[in-house]
Amino acid sequence: MNAVLAATPVQARLDAEGRILHADEALLTLQANAGGDPRGPLAIPALAALVRLVQRLRIPISRSVEVAQGEADISMWVQLRPDGEGYALAIADWQTRTPRDLPSDVTALRPQANADSEAGWAWQVDAHLRFRQAGPAVDALGHESPRAGDPLTAYFLLDAANGDGAPMPLVEALALRAPFRDQSARLRADPAIVYHLSGEPLFDTSGGLMGYRGNAVRMDATSAASAAPEPETAQAGVINMFGPDLGRRLDQALRQPLGRIIANASTISGQLEGPLRQDYANYAADIALAGRHLLELVDDLADLQAIERPGFTTAKEEVDLADMARRAAGLLNVKANAARVRIQTPPLGETAPARAEYRRVLQILVNLIGNAVRHSPEGSTIWVRVDEEDGRAIAVVADQGGGIAPEDHERIFERFERLGLSGGEGSGLGLYISRRLARAMDGDIVVDSALGQGARFMLNLPAWRGG
């Protein structure tokens, strides 16, 4: 990974509406690459979201931001503060580097088998709003499809809500790490083609934003079907108490206020705007942590509804369990270090190709390793190993915790089972969802453990044979 560091800070001045009054050339180049006007509102989504946050809070904010420019990532430290009738923006530590996870040969997006709705096509972007996946319906668009690594803002020109200059729903949502609906967007290659975008955020286990997934509906096509709720048969289980639109109602009722709570509490606990009594800072950190826990619960309940819907399927693509294990452990390193637990992953170069869905496998491994961290004593080690046997790719997560009695081996995979946990730890849904996802991918999860002997969770999936 090659890094280029800007020698001097990049500066800009914005008016009260967030439009650029003047800016250094580096920022104007980034603005142009994102399809923005050099004298218009910031079109770089991460920076536009920060402007919206400062406009809302009316306080200076400093934070690390990452944006995409072509096939490169740019990391920067952004300082934005109200200044008279506008805002002063300064960017320090501007570093440009080639991302590790973006292929040098940018190819067409790999289809995601189950994500398209009856109207429109499904998409998924990373935290920099670069396309990662698109559903099978892109093959019938009648115009050029997005390609892996393309910024969403290079493929679409985002319109202000209702065309009246109001905040863009996507930018507003990005500032709050919340879902959005009905973001009007025109195809840059043909501005006569208009889409409405809707999406929901994806988070890692520490509450960090991993990206967005959603649906794009072409407005000159018949879209009445998208407004009608999909009929569903009655489903067994506690999820029916909330009705078939649980995910939508949770999004509306919880995600936006939780996003605000987490953002504000994180700003306070980080003491970014000056010294604060340590007990107050600790209290704010506790609030942010509780907010992230609630967001995890919202995600779990939404996943629970999805996997119990009739006809739920997953994509069939090549994934490397060894690479996925290293990525999952990387997401949990901060949590493990805080618990004084070491995670030992498969060595670089070791592979275990499997046929499964990338994001679902990552979700499972994050859950298994996260559980191991939660149950491991200080100074212990968690081992993550991979293997291949009888046409199956296997990932094993082993810890040195208190172990699980044989009579509880199946019980721990039941819904809302929180064996050995108390207080705010866990929702009791992680293992249930993980096993359901593994079985949906023609695999399974089993446990080998006894009291006082730690636990070994084994994820097995069909080995990838090519084709």
Tokens of 196: 């409405």
Reported confidence tier of residue 447, pLDDT bands at 50, 70, 90 = very high
> Residues 176, 259: contact at Cβ < 8 Å?
yes
- pLDDT band of residue 422 (cuts 50, 70, 90) is very low
pLDDT digits (tens, 9 = 90+) for 52-93: 878 877 778 777 777 777 666 777 778 888 888 889 998 876
Query: What's the rounded mean pLDDT across residues 202-227?
Result: 65
412-418 long-range CB contacts below 8 Å, 24 or more apart?
A: 412/447, 413/445, 415/237, 415/238, 415/304, 416/238
Percentage of the chain exceeding pLDDT 90:
19
Per the prediction, the chain carries an average pLDDT of: 76
| pLDDT value of position 102 | 38
Q: Give the Cα separation of 82 and 63 in Å (integer).
A: 15
Whose CA is closest to 406, among 448, 345, 346? 448
Q: Which of 160, 22, 174 is nearest to 87 (CA)?
A: 22
What amino acid is encoded at 171 in this protein? V
Calculate the CA dihedral of residues 46, 47, 52, 56 and round it to 10 degrees: 100
d(CA 404, CA 309): 31
How far apart CA 175 and CA 213 sit, in angstroms, is 16
b/e string for 67-101 if b means 16 or more Cβ within 10 A? bbbeeebbebebbbebeeeebebbbeebebeebee
Count the alpha carbons within 13 Å of 405 in the hemisphere toward its beta carbon.
5
Phi-psi region of 442 (alpha: psi -120 to 50; beta: other; left: phi over 0): left
Mean pLDDT along residues 328-357: 90
pTM score above 0.85: no
Q: How far apart are CA 393 and CA 360, in angstroms?
A: 15
User: Can you tell me which residue has the tokens 């969770």?
Assistant: 457
Per-residue pLDDT, 319: 92
> Where residue 466 falls among pLDDT bands split at 50, 70, 90?
low
